[in-house]
Structure 1
């Protein structure tokens, strides 16, 4: 049996106290250099926009530059892997979206795990997906769309912001629930998908309200349903998918801030507090809410719980759909 002598105990305790003191001092001096905010999506998209708004507020609050870097590719896995492998010192952060909770089921050989490789800091906002169709399509409701798809199996196309994203999976869920066959067309970002939808090159897209609200209000593309529990205040006349005959159909996007696992709790708490403060700023609120976002905030524990719920929800769906990106 191994015994800890008084001398060894005292030495260990002294070492632990020293380590804690160093950690506390480090956290108190944080930040002392620029912070990198990594985004796994293209510049100009809704997640990038959220990241840049948050970066501006953090930069002012923390007194150090907060530099947004877009590391695009592999369904946002490149960005997630980069941050997961970064030093846990608070100088490399990740602004992620809903696919971070899905990719563990879509890709077999990931080098990170959303619940083990990161410290959740705060959920910034959520945004429902809106089902929009090209104006050339002779449908004005989900029921009309389903009827048309059943008359033309495999001929209608639905675009998304990329394979494995929440918009792609919303389309797959509609296919399953409605018993229809649609051809998926993945795009490299929200702007490309929106442009082709407006030009009639693709028949329909599930898009976040943030990516196209002004266009949706104008009627091109034509919004026919919102994939959330309640109607979107900015589109009050557009019913939910649930109202349209598919109870419980929800597919929302969200943006949240993460740090690498084992980042000191003092740093997590500081960043959480500053983002929550930023979410009360009138200019930031106006910018995001006017685009259809619902601001969230809250504690890091709240966000950790939400992530766990999302993993369970999407895991069940993906196992049922048998969708794989490998």
Structure 2
């Protein structure tokens, strides 16, 4: 039995529709992304600074893109596990990495086989901002200022101790960088995680610790810890009365940055959509206020965020800087 023939007008209409769609492949692809939820992988545990930032940014990015996003925590191996997952993910823009400089810029020098190339395997999307660490002292520690600490350390080489979350962690390497740049010899005492290190400094067992500003701000405000200096080149707006280490040790800058990456090889139109979405998100006052309330010093300005190639240049500079510090410290992880 023959199929009924379509009226001539209907056939012409269908042809016109088909030609119209074929003529606009770029617009069709752009309108389709994102057609399903974006997964933003955070390679650290829930509740940390990077996780908090990732959840704020993912919500706003999804809003600007007209889609949805979920945050997935994949901690382990200092951030390597989650970072590897994104490096090996499909290059379609649906798996992104919200990470910190200690994982992306330090781990390649610290681990013999991190399982990823921080430059070749990723496309930088946007630098969100920086979170300084704070050089903290127990209130009973005699040195009340950085100059007093440096004088004590030079008079007692190897006698003053500082705690860290473990060999090769950022708060270990911040102390090592201070040793190198100030010509002192603080003795490093590694712990298995930041919580026991912080608890022992709070309890007075050890006098010094570098701790992230968001996680130690309550202890500073309560007087349980004394903030000697922030680890950045300039003072933090959150602690305007606390000096920067760079004021006493020229060139010292040990902030922890947070940034968004896509796997290398994501199509250009998807890259452009992501960057435009992040450009709009970084200009959004609601998101900026939330991040600044967490102690994040936002990168760039609302109308000129740090994106793409500019962010890539910062990453390469940090990789080189931390490689020198890791080599001098002798820290390595198999």
Q: TM-score range by the shorter chain?
A: 0.7 to 0.9
Q: What is the aligned partner in structure 2 of residue 306 from structure 1?
A: 314
Moved more, 250-259 or 289-298: 289-298
Of structures 1 and 2, the larger Rg is shown by 2
Cα gap change, 1:111 to 1:22, in 2 (>3 Å): farther
Distance (whole Å) between structure 2 residues aligned to residue 95 and residue 65 of structure 1: 16
Please tell me whether residue 242 in structure 1 is matched to residue 250 in structure 2.
no
Q: What is the aligned partner in structure 1 of residue 333 from structure 2?
A: 325
How far 1:208 sits from its partner (Å)?
2.6
Please tell me whether residue 198 in structure 1 is matched to residue 202 in structure 2.
yes
1:134 to 122, 135, 138: 138
Contact 1:75 1:162 in 2 (8 A): no
Please tell me whether residue 158 in structure 1 is matched to residue 171 in structure 2.
no
1:102 to 102, 106, 112: 106
Distance (whole Å) between structure 1 residues aligned to residue 27 and residue 312 of structure 2: 23
How far 1:63 sits from its partner (Å)?
3.8
How many corresponding residue pairs?
Answer: 304
TM-score (norm 1): 0.83
Contact 1:150 1:181 in 2 (8 A): no
Distance (whole Å) between structure 2 residues aligned to residue 179 and residue 227 of structure 1: 16
Q: What is the aligned partner in structure 2 of residue 274 from structure 1?
A: 277
- 1:123 partner SS: strand
Please tell me whether residue 112 in structure 1 is matched to residue 116 in structure 2.
yes
Please tell me the root mean square deviation across aligned C-alpha atoms, in Å: 2.5
Q: What is the aligned partner in structure 2 of residue 18 from structure 1?
A: none
How far 1:106 sits from its partner (Å)?
1.0
How far 1:148 sits from its partner (Å)?
4.5
Distance (whole Å) between structure 2 residues aligned to residue 71 and residue 298 of structure 1: 26
Cα gap change, 1:118 to 1:22, in 2 (>3 Å): farther
Contact 1:27 1:264 in 2 (8 A): no
How far 1:113 sits from its partner (Å)?
0.6
Please tell me whether residue 213 in structure 1 is matched to residue 221 in structure 2.
no
How far 1:304 sits from its partner (Å)?
1.2
TM-score (norm 2): 0.82
Cα gap change, 1:284 to 1:196, in 2 (>3 Å): farther
Q: How does 1:1-326 map to 2 (within 5 A)?
A: 25-99=28-102, 100-149=104-153, 156-176=160-180, 177-189=182-194, 193-244=197-248, 246-296=249-299, 297-326=305-334
